[in-house]
Amino acid sequence: MSSIFPFQAGTVEGPPPISSLSNSKWTKPEYTLPHPSLQFLFHLECDMETFRHIGEGPHGDRSTVIFKGGRFEGPKLRGEILPGGGDWEIVRDHGDQQTAHLDTRYNLVTHDGATIYLQTTGTRTGPKSVLEKLGDDTSIKSDQFKMRLNLTMETGDPRYSWINSSVFVASSGRVGNQVIYDAYELL
C-alpha cells in the first residue's frame, strides 16, 4: 500500500510558496511557520479480548473490544496498560476498500506510579479482504493497510504534566489480538 503514497515514512512535505496558492487573497503571505517534526514517545502493545459485533446502527456498523492490558516504553514514559479500556469502532465499506473509525479509551500506569488517561481516534483503512482477516491471520504485515492515530493524554501527576499540553500521533497496526503502535510527540 505504501506505493500509493508519494512520500517515504519519516518525511514531512513542506508547504508550497504561499504566493502559488492563488485562489485566496492572503494578508500575510510572508509569515512563515516552522515545519513540524516528530519525536519518538513510546512503543506500545495492547492485548485485546475478542471483538463483539454490535451491527449496523444509526452511526454505522459498530463493533467493540475490551482491552486486557499491555505495556509501553519509551525514553520519557514506560509502564503498563490497565485492563478494562476498549475500542468502539465503526466500519464502513467503499467497494473493495474498508475503513474502521477507531475510538479508544484506556489508562496507563507508569513505572513510577502515575496514572495517565489515553484516548485515541483514527482510522484503519485498506483492502477489505485484508482488514477482515486481521484478527486471524498473523502473517498480514503493517504495510498491507494503513492505521494512524491521534492520541490525547492527560494526567494530574505533576511529573508528567507536560503531556497535558502536547500533541501526539501514532503509526499503528493490528496483529491477531494485539494493537501495536509507535507514538510520537509532534514538535
Give the number of C-alpha atoms closer than 13 A to the C-alpha of residue 136, restricted to the C-beta side: 5
Query: Region 43-50: what's the mean pLDDT?
Result: 96
Q: What was the pLDDT predicted at 20?
A: 87
Give the number of C-alpha atoms closer than 13 A to the C-alpha of residue 93, restricted to the C-beta side: 9
From 5-14, 118-127, 168-177, the region with the lowest mean pLDDT: 5-14
Q: How confident is the model at residue 21 (pLDDT cuts 50, 70, 90)?
A: confident
Among residues 174, 167, 163, which one has the least CA distance to residue 102?
A: 174
Percent of the chain clearing pLDDT 90 (strictly above)? 76
Give the number of C-alpha atoms closer than 13 A to the C-alpha of residue 81, restricted to the C-beta side: 27
Q: What was the pLDDT predicted at 5?
A: 54
* Total number of residues shown for the chain: 187
CA separation for the pair 157, 169 (Å, rounded): 22
Q: What was the pLDDT predicted at 7?
A: 64
Among residues 27, 106, 42, 38, which one has the least CA distance to residue 72?
A: 42
Q: What was the pLDDT predicted at 2?
A: 45
Percent of the chain clearing pLDDT 70 (strictly above)? 96
Q: What was the pLDDT predicted at 3?
A: 47
Give the chain's radius of gyration (CA, Å).
19
Q: How confident is the model at residue 40 (pLDDT cuts 50, 70, 90)?
A: very high
Q: Judge whether residue 174 has pLDDT over 60.
A: yes
Compute the mean pLDDT over every residue in the chain, rounded to the nearest whole number: 92
Q: Judge whether residue 1 has pLDDT over 80.
A: no
Among residues 152, 62, 71, 146, which one has the least CA distance to residue 105?
A: 152
CA separation for the pair 181, 40 (Å, rounded): 11
- Domains for the chain: give ranges and CATH numbers: 39-186 (2.40.160.20)
Q: How confident is the model at residue 19 (pLDDT cuts 50, 70, 90)?
A: confident
Per-residue model confidence as pLDDT tens digits over 73-118: 999 999 999 999 999 999 999 999 999 999 999 999 999 999 999 9
